[in-house]
């Protein structure tokens, strides 16, 4: 048997093993990424549900939410501040959604209708215009919410 042929077969088998290892590693990374995205999506859903639960389960917070979204001029300064804190919590959750959507873009599709619904309330939009600077100018949340507001403004003009 020719040693060169044996060496060539060995090199070929080594290359096949490397390619096989890379394919296996790629599958494992993809599965880990999917598991992370699923877990993150569950955590986001839980956190958002808790925020909503806080609004509807506490009569005082619900009253503030209701007044802010229907008659915002009737809020006292303290109520306006509490409403702002609720909104900050909500937008912080949306910021987390945007971070996770870099891994799984379908997550954002589920939250955009909720974001749009919130932004349709004049008090929410007004709060965002005053307080968006609490998020860095280059942050995903700031860019995304600003683009959603622009889209809603254009929709309302038509």
pLDDT in tens, 61-95: 999 999 999 999 999 999 999 999 999 988 888 88
Cα–Cα separations (whole angstroms), residue 126 to 87, 91, 101, 123, 132: 11, 14, 26, 5, 10
Count CB atoms within 10 A of the CB of residue 142. 19
Residue at token pair 């549900």: 49
Q: Which of 2-11, 88-97, 122-131 has the highest mean pLDDT?
A: 122-131
Closest residue by Cα to residue 97 from 122, 116, 115, 121: 115
Average confidence (pLDDT) over 16-22? 87
- Say what the pLDDT of residue 30 is: 84
- Say what the pLDDT of residue 105 is: 76
Domain boundaries, the chain: 38-157
Non-local (6+) Cβ contacts of 15 within 8 A are: none
Q: Mind listing the pLDDT tens digit for each residue in 32-50?
A: 877 877 777 777 778 778 8
User: pLDDT class for 1, splitting at 50, 70, 90?
Assistant: low
Secondary structure of the chain: what % helix, strand, coil (to 5)? 90, 0, 10
Q: What percent of the chain has pLDDT over 90?
A: 34
Q: Is the dihedral of CA 92, 93, 95, 99 positive or negative?
A: positive
**What is the model's pTM?**
0.71
97, burial (CB in 10 Å: exposed 0-12, middle 13-18, buried 19+) = buried
- Say what the pLDDT of residue 26 is: 85
- Say what the pLDDT of residue 67 is: 95
CA distance linking residue 89 with residue 47, whole number of Å: 10
């Amino acid at each position: 048997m020719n040693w060169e042929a044996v060496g060539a077969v060995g090199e070929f088998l080594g290359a096949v093993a490397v390619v096989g290892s890379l394919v296996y590693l790629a599958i494992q990374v993809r599965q880990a990424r999917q598991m992370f995205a699923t877990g993150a999506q569950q955590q986001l859903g839980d956190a958002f549900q808790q925020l909503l639960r806080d609004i509807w389960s506490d009569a005082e917070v619900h009253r503030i939410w209701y007044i802010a979204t229907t008659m915002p001029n009737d809020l006292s300064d303290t109520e306006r501040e509490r409403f702002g804190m609720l909104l900050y919590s909500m937008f912080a959750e949306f910021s987390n959604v945007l971070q996770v959507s870099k891994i799984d873009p379908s997550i954002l599709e589920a939250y955009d209708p909720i974001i749009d619904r919130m932004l349709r309330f004049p008090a929410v939009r007004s709060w965002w215009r005053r307080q968006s600077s609490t998020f860095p100018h280059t942050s995903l949340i700031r860019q995304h919410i600003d683009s959603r507001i622009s889209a809603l403004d254009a929709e309302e003009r038509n």
